[in-house]
Amino acid sequence: MSIKAIFYDFDGVIKESTDIKSKAFYALYEEFGENIAKKVERYHVENGGVSRFEKIKFWHQNYLGIELTEHEIQEWAQKFSELVLQKVVESPYVNGAFNAINQLRFNYQQFIITGTPQKEIEMICNQLNISNFFIEICGSPTNKIKWSQELLSKYKLNSDEVVFIGDAATDYEAAKHHHFHFILREHEENELLFKDKELIKIKDLLSLNEVIKQIK
């Protein structure tokens, strides 16, 4: 069965913005000392795609012994958003990404599924003028497995008609859970994480159309 839909992660797949967020999380927790900030940054790199709300709750609870209220989690997430939003907009596209998402929309149903909060990812895509390249743009707090299930049902897609292009463990887990085809966008931050996995791996999106056509 041929591919009908492409699910894209955003940071590290469409935009070169993973490092921006790593540095911003470090800056956010620097007031608690360099050791905590480094642990936060490392956890973020190893758990890309997990929503910032879950991460902030986890870090405070496990590294600082602080139980945050939902309101406090929102406040910390807002601080983070203020640090990163414009920087993400201004960050470069992954090589070939803009042309790929612009051209492939005529051949495939395209969706974004990201750990970035819903309103924020919508704002980013609107500022970049790429919202119309995608049928839906899906952010947190709904996770990637649930979003994938919702899109499968809503658009009457079979699992083998979908390819998920991601760079994080959450992308791979969502693809594996639903038996999607998976393409890893490989970069410095995820090479070790996926080094032992037999996957389709690409460094950029320059030849994405050809790669997708070869999927059986």
pLDDT tens-digit profile of 74-125?
999 999 988 899 999 999 999 999 999 999 999 999 999 999 999 999 999 9
**DSSP per-residue string spanning 153-212:** HHTT--GGGEEEEESSHHHHHHHHHHT-EEEEE--TTTHHHHTTS--EEESSSTTHHHHH
Report DSSP state, residue 4: -
Round to whole Å and give the CA distance between 46 and 48: 6
Who has greater pLDDT, 162 or 45? 162
**Matching residue, tokens 């999106």:** 205
* Tokens of residue 146, six digits: 């649930």
* Tokens of residue 91, six digits: 């960050």
At residue 191, the pLDDT reads: 83
Round to whole Å and give the CA distance between 109 and 13: 17
At residue 1, the pLDDT reads: 60
pLDDT tops 90 at residue 173? yes
At residue 3, the pLDDT reads: 96
Global pTM reads: 0.87
Task: Tell me the mean pLDDT in the region 41-45.
Answer: 90
Q: Are 215 and 198 contacting, i.e. CB atoms less than 8 angstroms apart?
A: no
The average confidence (pLDDT) of the chain is 94
At residue 43, the pLDDT reads: 93
pLDDT tops 80 at residue 48? no
**Matching residue, tokens 């470069």:** 92
pLDDT tops 80 at residue 216? no
